[in-house]
Structure 1
Amino acid sequence: MQKIAEKYEIRNVSQVKAWVRKFKEVESIEAFNRLPSSGSGAKGVKNPLKGKRIHFKDIEERDYYKAQVEYLKKQYPNL
């Protein structure tokens, strides 16, 4: 993978590893090419993990919401 990264001037070998991992999951180049682009290079696609920071009044409030999230994850594991 290091040689491939050097040959194609890819700065980070972990990018090649990620592509190989994704390719092994879908097992065909056609399906791999249809996968949505990820990372900072995906133009027009908002990152769902980024957003406004929430500042809780106290630790108890934070823990309350954290417990709600865990409950919902158990109720709806496919989301």
Structure 2
Amino acid sequence: MGKINKTYDIHFKKKAVDMYLKEGMGYKTVGRELEIAPQMVRRWVQHFEAEGIKGLEEKRGRAKGPGLGRPRTRPEDPEEKMKRLEAENELLKKLLGK
């Protein structure tokens, strides 16, 4: 079984970043205080410095911009749908021997 990743809210992440930046604590010290991995604190600080508070928002499961992610299917034209269904019916008739 895989390890279940825990997610932290933005306020918790901001607290960790503030402890590092404002209070001058190290990654390991902040990690020990908050019982999280020091690598997480380091990553959150890097995201915060690059993007500000938006860098601490959860990004998993979201497309990164318009037009990205799984493509939307366009609605099928009624004439195209009719042709496709007729072709399927013909194929089924051939397979069933009718």
Relative contact order (C-alpha < 8 Å, sep 6+): which is higher?
2
**Larger Rg belongs to:** 2
Which has more helix, going by share of residues?
2
What range is the shorter-chain TM-score in? Answer: under 0.3
